[in-house]
Amino acid sequence: MSTGLLQRWDKWVPFNHADPNGPMYYKGLYHLFYQYNPHGVCFGDKMIWAHSVSYDLIDWFNLEPALRPSEPFDINSCWSGSATILPGNKPVILYTGIDSNNQQVQNLAIPKNLSDPLLIEWVKYSKNPLMTPPDGVKVDEFRDPTTAWKGLDGKWRVIIGSLNKVILYQSEDFLHWTKSQEPLYSSGETGMWECPDFYPVSVNGTNGVDTSVQNPSVRHVMKAGFNSHDYYMLGTYVPEADIFLPYINFTGTSLDLRYDYGKFYASKTFFDNVKNRRILWGWVNESDSAKDDLEKGWSGLQSIPRQIWLDRTGKQLVQWPVEEINGLHNNLVSIHDFQLENGSAFEISGITAAQADVEIVFELPELEEAEFMISSQVDPQEICTNGDASVSGRFGPFGLLTLATKDLAEQTAIFFRVFKGHEGYVVLMCNDQSRSSMKKETDRTAYGSFVGIDPRQEKISLRSLIDHSIIESFAGEGRTCITTRVYPKFAVNEEAHLYAFNNGTQDVKISSLNAWSMNRAQINSWGSLK
């Protein structure tokens, strides 16, 4: 089977591409490992760790796979895990192996040659597994080790996902691990904690901090995957007791915080010590059928890398595409102080609409005219489902029509509505896929979330990265993100169009709009680095 990469400007896609694993920076190169099925287009048996490297997070070189099933402790698959940089700049990998008894066990791999910046060859520890399912934990509910952190007592700590909790282990030498009596965190009926992540964020700015930092100037993020969505909590880590105290527990409702309210799962972060930032990747799975995947010959891709930090309010995280993506900009089109009248659509021409980066800022006059939000409609996705881009309100829907045909028969709408709430104004962000494709058997789920801004104090901004069949959108300067996979049949390449639109009864003002065509990133084989 081919393991070639689909050449997209912000994605790299092998045959089957799933969870990002073990991202890190080492000796001048960014490394990303990822779940890969060499035997089919969908997730399956005998999963391996594929491996790519980059100098700049944009242009990537595809290397030989780092881990393949080969030993009794991982013979049935090398599942997800994380990388940790030990003292002396020594990277190691902890990963979940599916062993000969179909148990989920935790294994260690180390580079064969630390002087090799590509880290092409990895050696599995001869005494694997390091951790096996403890008493009371099912053999298929023990997976996905996080990046380890070093405590003030000098011991390493790592957490493993399980049912309704994350299990904490400690080690003095990274080889011999002891399970703590209590989990780092547990929560009722949350389900299986997949691909957990645990890391500090600074309260004093946008810079990231190393995973082992523990002091009053940081808060901690606990992230877990449930039902194909990545949720997170903010809180305090108490190292003396080895517990995480969230400010707000998971509720199982739309009030829970998510990285992304669209297609985004199994994500992983790492600390980039070169630019002092924390970077986030997520797996973007498909929205069409398995039959379509077979016809394409591939499925799944990675989101663009995003920088992540704590919002100035301390109540949520902020995400933004890494600055390196701006190096692909071409053919800038700018518009300022443009009145977008009710019921209008304005084409943004002069760029390649199928492959673009668009930043738009809206200003709303006379907010007192906004509709009152009915208190029973508290689920933003439900509101977006019941009111698509064609349903007119007072302030909204307004936003972008992406990957659209000239007659708008095909379009993917990313838009806002503004309501009066009981305690001020509420900004709703929606992604409407109801007309995204003329193809059958595609997921047309409407995505939606509230944006944590006050439109009286702050203008409403939207940035959308458009790449043929994927759209990653960032509202409120990155406070709310929605990623979607769409498959236009006619709005492709030169036939794709891009519009700013307003279907509300009130005019809105475009304070500024900047749009760029995007050049293609370079994807090469590992041999070109020799």
- Is the Cβ–Cβ distance between 329 and 516 less than 8 Å? yes
- Is the Cβ–Cβ distance between 116 and 180 less than 8 Å? no
- Rounded (5°) CA angle 487-264-494: 30
- 98-to-76, 106, 139, 226 alpha-carbon distances in Å: 5, 9, 10, 21
Which positions are catalytic? 19
What CA–CA distance (Å, rounded) separates 405 from 444? 18
What CA–CA distance (Å, rounded) separates 447 from 482? 7
Tokens for 504, please give them. 């509300």
Give the amino acid at 69: P
What CA–CA distance (Å, rounded) separates 485 from 447? 12
Tokens for 508, please give them. 């809105």
Residue 166 pairs in a beta bridge with 161, 185
Q: What is the dihedral of CA 246, 276, 54, 462, to 10 degrees?
A: 60
- Count how many residues are written for the chain: 530
Residue 312: partners with Cβ closer than 8 Å, 6 or more residues away: none
What CA–CA distance (Å, rounded) separates 103 from 106? 10
